[in-house]
Amino acid sequence: MGESKLNRYGVWKGGPVTPEQARTIEDLGYGSVWVGGVFTADLAYVEPLLAVTENLTVASGIVNIWTSPVDEIAAAFHRIEAAYPGRFLLGVGAGHPEASAEYRKPYDALVEYLDGLDAAGVPKERRVLAALGPRC
């Protein structure tokens, strides 16, 4: 499992990306598309985007650790990696905790989640972390 190839420029789309949009993004010369929104733990939205492109990296922005079990995310990562090696970047973060009935300190929860990804063999170089900024 090698590093993702993000290239110098990518596209951020704050919501769903269709396969047609992914193909257009790649045809325009961009190396990656960052997809925002709420994701299910099976990461099923990723595969149709990868299937219609040849080199585009798809990055999740972000998988919420409060609502996506780490074992399911790790299994989905490995499934995607087997089909599209090096083309998926897993973005995880301690999004809005109100999405879960359980509340813990975000830092502690994120460290535990990353430990789970480590134990499941999800490479560190194939994931990125996100955080919510301060509210003024």
pLDDT digits (tens, 9 = 90+) for 89-135: 999 998 776 656 666 788 999 999 999 999 999 999 999 998 766 66
The answer for residues whose C-beta is within 8 angstroms of residue 30's C-beta and 6 or more apart is: 7, 9, 10, 11, 56
pTM attached to this predicted model:
0.88
Residue 113, domain extent:
10-130
59: domain CATH number is 3.20.20.30
SS3 64: strand
Total of domains in the chain: 1
pLDDT at residue number 104: 78
pLDDT band, residue 13 (cuts 50/70/90):
confident
pLDDT band, residue 83 (cuts 50/70/90):
very high
pLDDT digits (tens, 9 = 90+) for 15-70: 889 999 999 999 999 999 999 876 789 999 999 999 999 999 999 988 999 889 99
The answer for residues whose C-beta is within 8 angstroms of residue 19's C-beta and 6 or more apart is: 48, 49, 51, 52
Domain-embedded: residue 114: yes
